[in-house]
Amino acid sequence: MSSIPSLAWIPLLPLLGALLNLTLGRRLSRGAVHTIAIAAVAAAFALCIYLIFGIPGLGGGDVWRAYKAGSGGTGIAQTVYTWIEVGSFKVELAFRLDTLSSVMVLIVTGCSTLIHIYSTGYMSHEPRYAAYFGYLNLFTGAMLILVLGANLPVMFIGWEGVGVCSFLLIGFWYENESYANAGRKAFVVNRIGDFCFLLGMFLLFWATKTLDFEQLEQTTQGAAYVQPFWGGERLAAAAGIFLFIGACGKSAQLPLYVWLPDAMAGPTPVSALIHAATMVTAGVYMVVRLSFLYSASTTALIVVSTIGMLTALAAAFMAFAQTDLKKVLAYSTVSQLGFMFVAAGTGNWVAAIFHLGTHAFFKACLFLGAGSVMHGMEHGIEHVGAHGQSSGDITKMGGLRRHMPITRITFMISCLAIAGIFPFSGFFSKDEILAGAWTVHPPGWPVWYGKLLWAGLLIAALGTAFYMWRLYFLVFGGSERSDAAKHAHESPRSMTMPLVILAGLATIAGLIGFPHLTGIKLPSITHALSSWLAPSVTPTWWNPGPDGVNAGQAIMGHASDGSILGLAALALAIGGAGIGLAWMFYGRGPSPTVARLTEGPLHGAYEASKNKLWVDEIYEAAFVRPFRVVARGLYEVVDRFLIDTIAVNGVAMVVSVFGRLARWFQNGQVQRYIAGIVVGAAVLFLVTDWSEKPTFDYEVVGDRVHLTAQPGAGLMSSTSKLRWDVDGDGTPDIDPKTRKPYEGLEIDVLRGDTGAKVSLFIDDPITRKTRVVTRVLRLPADDAAKAQEAK
């Protein structure tokens, strides 16, 4: 297997683990199952460390060397084999570990290893243990393909792969109908995003003829980004927005976020890994990965940042009134992802990845802590026999600080981090995003746009601190609000150990991303992240067009030390204010003020938040139900009625009616045949007779008028006698020259012999009736003569 390049082993190891556990897992012991799964992921983590930094004594560290040599944007690139090749279209199964993807693989494999370990405790009573670890490994493998993919199609393999694992893990307890529905909802909503992702990919290939990230970034291909595409916008805007909608699906942004809160149906470690730390950040990663594309279009970036801000606000609002522990965390995830997209949308790529990383630590820690709390509560519920009580209902908790000390401490650290309190990691990453929004000034846009983003985020940050600390106080603060809570107990070491590690990371991760101050010289470690990522992202506007006014201008604005520190202080104050508010209302359990407010002046807002702004109901009415109706309608109306009944069976019926008629006629009786002949002949004559009315034409030929009878078709025409009255006296006339009556189909009359009217007498020999047709002749010479007389 030496022919498989080293990078391919990173996703391959977890995939092999998944293969083993999914095929043979049912025959293996629990110990063997989780040993395989954890070993596979941990080995992938070790391999990442080895490839990026090297392990003393073993060598490695290629990415580090590349970074030092100034080619950190290329890193290691390896092709496993050519995946698809048709004509000039070629997709290599290629991976690339540059400085950006190495940050991601470390987060993914690191979190994944911890969550695998945690799962051994949390899922210990699960009958489908092997399937669970199989899916978890499969997910990790797919996520690593997503991150490492060196071109869009390979990224798309991972992109869809994590979607399937998400579907399987949300619906892991498939016997519960609503869980299964949640899984399906997640997959379908993601597919809506993927549809746009595909369109974006098609557009890019159509314009540049390549899908490889490195080639896409080259200027020669990049020239295509500025070509006008639609409504004067650049191609980069269209492709970027399509791809971003794909990211909205995966990273739960407006309007496609609706699947994520429902995704909490999955086991809690899954929520921590997939729906908080890794998979949902794939969209952010993708936008940063394509920073060169987005930097070619202001429009695309503005769409990204606006959607991000709106999502951050809306999700924070919806989190206020949730009573389910995991639902609060879910909305908080949606909101924090919104922060990351604002960072990406303001060209603040480093801050987006920074917040992605710190969020992965503190949110994974929060989810695992939530799992630990629910685990403890379940024990309590069982102990007191309060069956039917939900283990995630925060109104039934309280006072857990006494029963679950480790969980409480780690949870508190993470809450401090997410609220943006110095010196926890969330403070630094959130501050970077806020400062970036404050200073950004997209060309052609008013200067207050960045301030608007900043203000929106600041409100969202206030909300975040409030609802997170509301959660904290309701769970751990005050006294127990149910018997079950009194009997909750701390979780086993396999669960608390990952909590402690994650809390530690959530505390110190901020170190590598201090703000850049001009006045104070900080050690280089404090800017490690931005200098590490710099080779992989585009810091300047891409505008090689003829109007290259902004060419090379930095996307991010600059701020003075004073404003940086001021903004940081303001953000800190806002975080503190949120915590203070939460303390006021929930510090010792829900205070009576809360009930007074929610039933009084804030009732409307409270209901709106509790019902998640009725978005699910609106979607149900606007999309889901019409979809069903249209599907049913198409089937019943178009398929069954129009095509089958009318067209197909209709034709068949016409044929069969004729068949029956023919059968009735052709019964072998001569009488019936003769009757048929007679009736048929009669019909034939009648029809032809009716068809024309008798008349005649006239034509002037020299000094004569030529009359032509048209006595009609059929029986009458052939046997009737035709006589003419040419002088208009009402009786048939005689030709004065030949002394014969005017008779027959055609006659010639001297002009002098004609009167004003001419009549044709048709004698029918059978009925002995005569029909008369009379016409007034208008001869041209007469008109001329009359005209002369008038003069």
Partner 1 sequence: MPGSFLLPLLIALPLLGAILVMCAPRTESTLHRGLGFVFTTVTFLVSLLMFRYFNVKFDGYQLVFDHEWIPGLGARFKTGVDGLSVLLVLLTTFLMPLTLLGTVKSVERHAREFMAAMLVLEAGMIGAFVALDVFLFYVFWEVMLIPMYLLIGIWGGQRRLYASIKFVVYTMVGSLLMLVAIFYVYVQHANVTGTYTTDLEALMQVALPHGAQYWCFAAFALAFAIKIPLFPVHTWLPDAHVEAPTAGSVILAGVLLKFGIYGFLRYAMPLFPHGAAEWAPAIAILAVAGIIYGAFVAFSQDDVKKLVAYSSVSHMGFCALGIFTLTAMGISGSIYAMLSHGLTTGGLFLGIGVLYERRHTRRMAEYGGIWKQMPLFAGLYLIVVMGSAGLPALSGFVGEYLTLFGTFISGDTFPEAFPSYLPMPRLLGALATTGVILGAIYLLYMFQKVFFGKLDKARNGHLRDLSGRELATFLPLVVLIFALGMFPRPALQVMEPSVQKFIRDYHRRVAEPDGPAHVYGRLPTAQAKSIEEGLDQLARGADRVGSLMKPSGTPQAGFGGAQ
Task: CB nearer to partner 1: give 639 or 746.
Answer: 639
Residue 160 sits in the site that holds partner 1 (CB under 8 A): yes
167 close to 187: Cβ distance less than 8 angstroms: yes
Question: Which of 64, 129, 187, 225 forms a contact with partner 1 (CB under 8 A)?
Answer: 187
**CA-to-CA distance for 164 and 40, rounded, in angstroms?**
20
Question: Which of 157, 452, 497, 577 forms a contact with partner 1 (CB under 8 A)?
Answer: 157
DSSP secondary structure, 56-76, as one string: TTTB--HHHHHHHTT-TTT-E
**CA-to-CA distance for 632 and 587, rounded, in angstroms?**
53
Residue 652 sits in the site that holds partner 1 (CB under 8 A): yes
Please, how many CA atoms are within 13 Å of residue 629, restricted to the half-sphere of its CB?
7
Task: CB nearer to partner 1: give 157 or 597.
Answer: 157
Alpha-helix runs per DSSP H in 24-53: 30-52
Question: Which of 122, 135, 139, 156 forms a contact with partner 1 (CB under 8 A)?
Answer: 156
Residue 646 sits in the site that holds partner 1 (CB under 8 A): no
Residue 769 CB neighbour total at 10 angstroms: 10
CA 230, distance to chain mean position in Å, is 20
**CA-to-CA distance for 636 and 412, rounded, in angstroms?**
58
- Span near partner 1 by CB under 8 A; candidates 84-92, 114-122, 282-290, 520-528: 84-92
Residue 486 sits in the site that holds partner 1 (CB under 8 A): no
Task: From 166, 62, 147, 161, select the one nearest 109 (Cα to Cα).
Answer: 147
Question: Which of 4, 29, 68, 89 forms a contact with partner 1 (CB under 8 A)?
Answer: 89
**CA-to-CA distance for 787 and 654, rounded, in angstroms?**
64
Residue 648 sits in the site that holds partner 1 (CB under 8 A): yes
Residue 19 sits in the site that holds partner 1 (CB under 8 A): no
Please, how many CA atoms are within 13 Å of residue 367, restricted to the half-sphere of its CB?
30
Query: Closest distance between partner 1 and the C-beta of residue 236, in Å?
Result: 17
690 close to 699: Cβ distance less than 8 angstroms: no
**CA-to-CA distance for 157 and 162, rounded, in angstroms?**
9
Question: Which of 5, 6, 9, 22 forms a contact with partner 1 (CB under 8 A)?
Answer: 22
Question: Which of 82, 479, 656, 666 forms a contact with partner 1 (CB under 8 A)?
Answer: 82
Question: Which of 16, 28, 32, 192 forms a contact with partner 1 (CB under 8 A)?
Answer: 192
Residue 171 sits in the site that holds partner 1 (CB under 8 A): yes
Question: Which of 30, 65, 184, 704 forms a contact with partner 1 (CB under 8 A)?
Answer: 184
Here the tokens at position 786 are 């009359």
Task: CB nearer to partner 1: give 154 or 440.
Answer: 154
Task: CB nearer to partner 1: give 448 or 635.
Answer: 635
* Burial track 574-611 (b if 16+ CB lie within 10 A, e otherwise): bbeebbebbbebbbebbeeebeeebeeebeeebebbee
Number of shown-chain residues binding partner 1 (CB under 8 A) = 51
Question: Which of 55, 68, 174, 741 forms a contact with partner 1 (CB under 8 A)?
Answer: 174
Question: Which of 205, 449, 583, 606 forms a contact with partner 1 (CB under 8 A)?
Answer: 205
- Span near partner 1 by CB under 8 A; candidates 63-71, 75-83, 366-374, 723-731: 75-83
Query: Closest distance between partner 1 and the C-beta of residue 375, in Å?
Result: 25
Element (H, E) at 759: strand 757-764
Task: CB nearer to partner 1: give 121 or 153.
Answer: 153
For 271, 344, 366, 373, 493, the CA distances from 496, given in Å and listed in that order, are 17, 34, 12, 11, 5
593 close to 585: Cβ distance less than 8 angstroms: yes
**CA-to-CA distance for 134 and 131, rounded, in angstroms?**
5
Task: CB nearer to partner 1: give 448 or 627.
Answer: 627
Residue 623 sits in the site that holds partner 1 (CB under 8 A): no
Residue 198 sits in the site that holds partner 1 (CB under 8 A): yes
- Point out which residues bind partner 1 (CB under 8 A): 22, 26, 81-87, 89, 153, 156-157, 159-161, 164, 167, 171, 174-175, 177, 180-181, 184, 187-188, 191-192, 194-195, 198-199, 202-203, 205-206, 627-628, 630-632, 634-635, 638-639, 643-644, 647-648, 652
